[in-house]
A and B are shown apart, each in its own frame.
Chain A
């Protein structure tokens, strides 16, 4: 543990100081709330002129669509992460590369969904995350594969193939689309968890695992809930077989729950996840949607990240915490921009924000 601290102190304090400097410019909760009050996208862009997004957003024409603004926010996020990666060395640099591979999973999930829905490449490429490590050429090659099974075989490993094996992929409903996305994102998280478990040591591991592990658990919960919603018989085969705080007994009780409400009740009683998912049943009953799960998960990761910043410095957790907070901020901004463009009221946008 001491060795890790000394290595970070001597090698990574440049990067850590840089990250703390960048953290200063993250939007506060109050600022996010006030963004929802704006009436147009142009006002939001004007508000963000002095933020790290200002340089990119100011280049957008007034007539820019919500998708273009969201893509610009996403590009700004990618630029920030690449900037940190460029200054990092050794295992911190490798850690950031592994973190970016999670976005590969998200990009692959979106690619598969676009293919299944028959949407054009141009639309896909404009919405993919620039943070992924796969190049546009590689993604194009995958996109050109006609058969969806062949596509999965080419883009992933046998683990993911097995998880999607029993699923009818053609003409997916919105729920099935979300389930496919959760399964592929879970596969990406699993790879990151394996890296963190095997390669990180000491305090680095202790601090990072709660975020990475709970991402897998919450992903599994989301898969179970979607499976219940769709009435799937074999949900277990779609789950990531890595459990952090979700023990086998709890998992079994979630899988055997009669319906989605009972599943939510059971997970709300879990010793760890009750503080995150308390009130989730009420939210589901009100909205009849599982969109709140993503917001609750992001709130949880943001809370853990803020705690890391308050703890002892000189560990890789500080880097992860910033990446999580920056990603969360970008998603919040995307929610605000798309909400305003869709004509939603501030009260309707705010529940979509995780601050």
Chain B
């Protein structure tokens, strides 16, 4: 039955995990080639530039945490808990969409960071700021999702 609260809650779990993984994948797949390309010319910047892929991976972890916390609540869900089910669904949706957006931001700014650092290594400390700001987008959604599902 589509109207069952458990269905919406499960969908929320799925969205949170699936979209977060997609977001992380976007972030890594855009930034990693640039890091590798920059590394062929300046191997010493690879370890610093890897921060982009680490931050992208963190997005998947946020989605997984929201998903796991939601699963713990699923076990105690009754047919009357419609509001809780929608909160879990909303939490998963918020986390998932924000993860995709943050993944794009991290991917593009991580790629630019690698390119810029390859050209001028002294730019790293300033060029890393957009990357952190992109990551913050996912953190905002993570906090909101946690407040919804807990």
B6: min CB distance to chain A, Å:
38
Contact bitstring B99-141, A, C-beta under 8 A = 1, else 0: 0000000011001101110111000000000000000000000
Give the nearest-CB partner of A83 in chain B.
B40
Q: Say which residue of A16, A24, A25 sits within 8 Å of B34 (CB atoms).
A: A16
Q: Is B38 a contact of A10 with CB atoms below 8 Å? A: no
Q: Is A17 a contact of B34 with CB atoms below 8 Å? A: yes
Contact bitstring A289-325, B, C-beta under 8 A = 1, else 0: 0000000000000000000010001000000000000
A positions within 8 Å CB-CB of B: 9-10, 13-18, 20-25, 87, 309, 313
**Cβ–Cβ < 8 Å partners of A18 in chain B:** 37-38, 40-41, 118
B36 within 8 Å of A (CB atoms): yes
**Cβ–Cβ < 8 Å partners of A17 in chain B:** 33-38, 111, 114-115, 118
Q: Say which residue of B30, B41, B42 sits within 8 Å of A10 (CB atoms).
A: B30
**Cβ–Cβ < 8 Å partners of B115 in chain A:** 13, 16-17, 20, 313
Identify whether the interface residues of B are mostly helix, strand, loop, or mixed.
Answer: helix
Q: Is A21 a contact of B40 with CB atoms below 8 Å? A: yes
13 further A-B contacts with Cβ under 8 Å, apart from A13-B37, A13-B111, A18-B118, are A9-B108, A10-B29, A13-B115, A14-B34, A15-B37, A16-B37, A17-B35, A18-B38, A20-B38, A21-B42, A22-B41, A24-B42, A87-B40
Q: Is A20 a contact of B116 with CB atoms below 8 Å? A: yes
24 contacts between A and B (CB under 8 A): A9-B108, A9-B111, A10-B30, A13-B33, A13-B111, A14-B33, A14-B36, A14-B37, A16-B37, A17-B36, A17-B37, A17-B114, A17-B115, A18-B37, A18-B40, A20-B38, A20-B118, A21-B37, A21-B41, A21-B118, A21-B119, A24-B118, A25-B41, A313-B115
Within 14-49 of B, Cβ neighbours of A (below 8 Å) are at: 29-30, 33-38, 40-42
**Cβ–Cβ < 8 Å partners of B35 in chain A:** 17
